């Protein structure tokens, strides 16, 4: 029975997978939609996220789908995303906030402050005395 339907199942699988790929969201795809809606270019991206312009180009070319948590958070702050949008971006990047002191501090900041910039986030983070270096710094990852 399996041998008889082998080609039929392979063709059906192929069609379903093609549809799945066309409708699946990626981290880069979602960020591009946000940036396009705001008419961002590489300069605006770098200024708002404190990330390198090359990160912008990697996102635009759909070559960044597993960034670091800190990169996702910097982009979320730059885009001024809601908590649910930020959570979705983390999930699309294959990331979640872990049960660490650093990640707990990230959530604490988002829950208790209306953060308007990466610099403001870093200042608050440093005031919490979690670590001696700011977590969201210029990065290419």
Which of the four pLDDT bands, split at 50, 70 and 90, describes residue 132? confident
What are 17-74's pLDDT values in tens digits? 887 767 668 999 999 999 999 999 999 999 999 999 999 999 999 888 899 999 999 9
Q: Domain range holding 108?
A: 26-127
Which of the four pLDDT bands, split at 50, 70 and 90, describes residue 123? very high
- pTM beyond cutoff 0.85: no
- Whether 53 maps to a domain, the answer reads yes
- Whether 33 maps to a domain, the answer reads yes
Model pLDDT, residue 112: 96
Query: Mean pLDDT across the stretch 73-94?
Result: 96
- Whether 48 maps to a domain, the answer reads yes
- Whether 65 maps to a domain, the answer reads yes
Model pLDDT, residue 23: 66
- Whether 6 maps to a domain, the answer reads no
Helix orientation angle between 83-92 and 27-37, rounded to the nearest 10 degrees = 140
- Whether 9 maps to a domain, the answer reads no
Residue 68's nearest CA partner among 33, 47, 46, 93 is: 93
- Whether 107 maps to a domain, the answer reads yes
Domain count, the chain: 1
| Alpha helices (H) in 1-141, listed in sequence order | 6-23, 27-37, 42-49, 53-60, 69-79, 83-92, 101-112, 118-127
- Whether 19 maps to a domain, the answer reads no
Model pLDDT, residue 138: 59
Lowest mean pLDDT among 11-15, 31-35, 78-82: 11-15
- Are 89 and 31 contacting, i.e. CB atoms less than 8 angstroms apart? yes
Distance of CA 49 to the CA centre of its chain: 12
- Report the distance separating Cα 78 and Cα 121, nearest Å: 11
């Amino acid at each position: 029975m399996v041998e008889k339907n082998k080609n039929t199942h392979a063709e059906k699988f192929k069609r379903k997978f093609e549809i799945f790929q066309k409708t699946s969201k990626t981290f880069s795809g979602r960020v591009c939609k946000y940036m396009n809606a705001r008419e961002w270019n590489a300069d605006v991206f770098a200024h708002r996220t404190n990330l390198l312009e090359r990160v912008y180009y990697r996102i635009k070319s759909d070559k960044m789908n597993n960034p670091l948590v800190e990169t996702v958070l910097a982009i979320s702050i730059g885009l001024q995303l809601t908590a649910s949008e930020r959570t979705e971006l983390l999930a699309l990047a294959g990331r979640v906030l872990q049960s660490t002191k650093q990640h707990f501090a990230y959530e604490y900041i988002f829950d208790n402050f209306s953060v308007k910039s990466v610099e403001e986030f870093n200042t608050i983070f440093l005031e919490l005395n979690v670590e001696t270096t700011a977590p969201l710094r210029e990065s290419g990852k």
